[in-house]
Chains A and B, each alone.
Chain A
């Protein structure tokens, strides 16, 4: 009984907190709106403009502001929504990766380099290497990571546009916007996303965007001792990745999803196509 009471009190506090925070947010928005309206008329809300008003006029102002505020909540939601569109296919370079499965011998250097470069916490992976054993004893290693899909299902479901595609086709997460709902994690067919236990937001491979825009290679590509991973702009015809993708018979993972993944595998065993 005591435990039930404790649980009730604890959760009721959450409920009250929630509604107080909503109230504060609405009040804050209204206050900002009144200030903005006053400022646009050339008089600061603080500069006696309001103090000098009669009770009636301030009430009128308040009602007007409240009416505008509630209208704005609706209209704002819609207009923000129309502006904040996901960008989709790359408009600039289309970065992609070519992975030669035959060349990978499972040293995990890429996994370690990625974890080190990007502070990936223990237990979660921006890239990993799967190991498959054929009936004849042959072992096949298949490196995997986010495919930076051209039609990413993770971006589609994000309710707040926190996950987006940059102009070069790299799928990224804005840590400051992510609410941690997990929809993108659920909707990535490749298990490439996870909740970062330290940051508390969705996380995944970024193609080391902080490196590549300085002319460096992604950490995993640089660390690979056999050259199994090749990275570059697919949109440039003579780039190494373009040449390799054109020359070899490549496969992409789970094509049926329509995600258009941008990691191209050579010699991928059928069992690893997950």
Chain B
């Protein structure tokens, strides 16, 4: 028996030296504290940042290539903001107390603890993001709703128009306010996408989380997945709705955003892998378990998919073929999901003793929750897309109007 093994429990022998409480999560063999639900949560928070960025390019920077998808991006952003908290909520052992994160957050540093709880940042970021996004939706769609209310007389449009008209002056004012709101919202969305990264990096008990690139990578890969999702949604909507064609400029613009986000992520991957190699990161004794913890096949798949996406996106910028971006978008969703898994799970599989390894496989109830929340998100997005007048290209018209009047262009 090797020196250093803990042998009170026979089953420990096959996983090395781990703390007894690490075996106590109710899984068959070991397990992790934060499982696939947290993986999906980080995926959702990233999608919020990505979809917000697309909306910002149109509403904030007035880039004409994104006018067609700005409304759709906002709808997706709002759906993800509303649905995202369900994942951590389902992870909580006391979900009925969840609101105390907002009412008594641990945000004050003291002499002994210079830090604050990264989870508590949610108490500031989430409510503000939600309010700003709802206001943004109102100011983006109000004038068009007013016009439609006059045309169709539908109650919903009347409510959304806030009883105000759709004069050119009000349209310009709305767009100016939307421009300010989307800029504030983008900052909040970036914080929302990165705070889990800060939480992981702040966890000193896990050596594999000692990696400063994680929060930035969460934002970069979030932008990649967000732009990819907008491209997919736009493509589906354009194909499904009769009489609408896919606009090549829009798809190419989304491909451009994805390309930059992918390159940024790749740069961070290189920094992270080099730092790990340089520091010879793993404690002695880990070699036996190292390969299992690092999930090498998943890592290879991640880099292989990244290479394919890179080629597709580069070619799509040279040749106008929307399907290239669409394919890259589908692969990007998979790539980002793999990245989130690799960021969240493996670090927890290495025991805090650094001399043993735990196992984790997705539990049935977790899979059911993931499917359910994703279905609920799609449902929410569909309802919002149905009630909000996003698809009329009115943003492009409004911008054009603003430009021709010397307004906010």
Q: Which residues of A contact B376 (CB under 8 A)?
A: 8, 11-12, 15
Q: Is the CB of A201 within 8 A of B373?
A: no
A261 contacts chain B at the CB level, 8 A cutoff: no
Q: Which residues of A contact B117 (CB under 8 A)?
A: 156-159, 183
Minimal beta-carbon separation of A108 from chain B (angstroms): 8
Q: How large is the interface on A (under 10, 10 to 19, 20 to 34, 35 or more residues)?
A: 35 or more
Q: Which residues of B contact A257 (CB under 8 A)?
A: 204-205
Residues 37-91 (chain A) with a chain B CB within 8 angstroms? 73-74, 76-78, 80-89
B7 contacts chain A at the CB level, 8 A cutoff: yes
A235 contacts chain B at the CB level, 8 A cutoff: no
User: B18, B108, B120, B206: which contacts A82 (Cβ < 8 A)?
Assistant: B108
Contact with B along A253-274 (1 / 0, CB 8 A): 0000110000000000001101
Minimal beta-carbon separation of B116 from chain A (angstroms): 8
Q: Which residues of A contact B375 (CB under 8 A)?
A: 4, 7-8, 11-12
Closest to A140 in B: B3
A212 contacts chain B at the CB level, 8 A cutoff: no
Chain B CB count within 10 A is highest, among A86, A134, A186, for A186
Residues 221-274 (chain A) with a chain B CB within 8 angstroms? 257-258, 271-272, 274
A188 to B348, CA, bound (A): 12
Task: List 29 A-B residue pairs with CB atoms under 8 Å apart, sorted by A's residue number.
Answer: A4-B375, A7-B368, A11-B372, A12-B375, A14-B372, A15-B373, A21-B99, A77-B124, A81-B107, A83-B108, A89-B112, A125-B21, A132-B5, A133-B2, A156-B202, A157-B119, A157-B199, A157-B203, A159-B101, A159-B117, A159-B123, A161-B106, A179-B101, A182-B33, A182-B93, A186-B34, A190-B19, A191-B19, A191-B351
Known contacts A4-B375, A181-B93; 15 additional CB pairs below 8 A are A7-B372, A10-B368, A15-B83, A81-B105, A81-B108, A125-B21, A129-B8, A132-B3, A132-B5, A132-B6, A133-B2, A153-B204, A160-B106, A186-B34, A274-B17
- Listed from nearest, the 4 A-B pairs whose CB atoms lie closest are A88-B112, A11-B372, A180-B93, A191-B19
List residues of B whose CB falls within 8 A of some A CB. 1-8, 17-26, 33-34, 83, 85-86, 88-113, 115-120, 122-124, 127, 199, 202-206, 348, 351-355, 368-369, 371-373, 375-376, 379
